[in-house]
Amino acid sequence: MFAESKKIVLCSGCRTPIGHISRSLSGVKPEDLMAAAVEALVKRAGLPKEAVDGLFAGWVGQSFSAPNLARVTVTKTGLPEKAQAVTVQNNCISSIEAVAAAARAILAGEGELYLAGGTECMSRMPYTIEGSRAAKELRSLDVVKAKWAGLLESPQVRVVDSMEEGLTDPVKKINMAATAEVCAQMLGISREEADKYAHESFRRSVEAWNAGFYPSHVEPFKAEGGAGLDKDEYPFLREDLIAKPQMFGKAPALFDNSVYPLRSFYHDFGGLVEGRPFQEGVSKGSVTLFNSCGRSDGAAALIVSTDEKAKALNLEVLAEIKGWGFHGNNPAYMGLSPALAAPLALKRAGIGFDQLDRVELHEPFAATVLGIFKVGKERFGHDWEAKYRAGLLNPNGGSIALGHPLGATGARLMLNLLYSMKLDPKARYGMIAACAGGGMGGAMVIEKP
User: Exposed/middle/buried for 50, CB within 10 Å: 0-12, 13-18, 19+?
Assistant: exposed
Say what the pLDDT of residue 64 is. Answer: 87
Confidence class for position 224, pLDDT limits 50, 70, 90 = confident
Amino acid at 267: H
Encode pLDDT of 410-431 as tens digits. Answer: 999 999 999 999 999 999 999 9
Are the beta carbons of 2 and 218 closer than 8 angstroms? no
Q: How far is CA 194 from CA 232, 290, 363, in A?
A: 22, 9, 11
User: Which is nearest to 358 in space by CA: 421, 293, 444, 285?
Assistant: 421
Q: What is the distance between the alpha carbons of residues 180 and 331, in angstroms, rounded to a whole number? A: 11
3-state secondary structure of 380: helix
Q: What is the distance between the alpha carbons of residues 327 and 291, in angstroms, rounded to a whole number? A: 25
Say yes or no to pLDDT of 226 above 90.
Answer: no
Mean of the pLDDT values across residues 378-387?
A: 98
341 phi and psi, to 5 degrees? -75, -35
Say yes or no to pLDDT of 1 above 70.
Answer: no
Contacts of 59 (CB under 8 A, 6+ apart): 30, 34, 69, 87, 88, 89, 94, 118, 119, 120, 407
Encode pLDDT of 51-82 as tens digits. Answer: 999 999 999 999 888 999 999 999 999 999 99
Encode pLDDT of 276-333 as tens digits. Answer: 999 999 999 999 999 999 999 999 999 999 999 999 999 999 999 999 999 999 999 9
Mean of the pLDDT values across residues 326-347?
A: 98
Q: What is the distance between the alpha carbons of residues 132 and 366, in angstroms, rounded to a whole number? A: 40
What is the helix (H) or strand (E) element at residue 57, kind and residue range?
strand 54-59
Q: How far is CA 211 from CA 142, 205, 207, 216, 337, in A?
A: 56, 10, 6, 11, 32
Q: What is the distance between the alpha carbons of residues 197 and 41, in angstroms, rounded to a whole number? A: 32
**Computed over its alpha carbons, how large is the radius of gyration of the chain?**
22
71 phi and psi, to 5 degrees? -70, -40
103 phi and psi, to 5 degrees? -65, -40
Tell me how far the alpha carbon of residue 131 is from its chain's centroid. Answer: 30
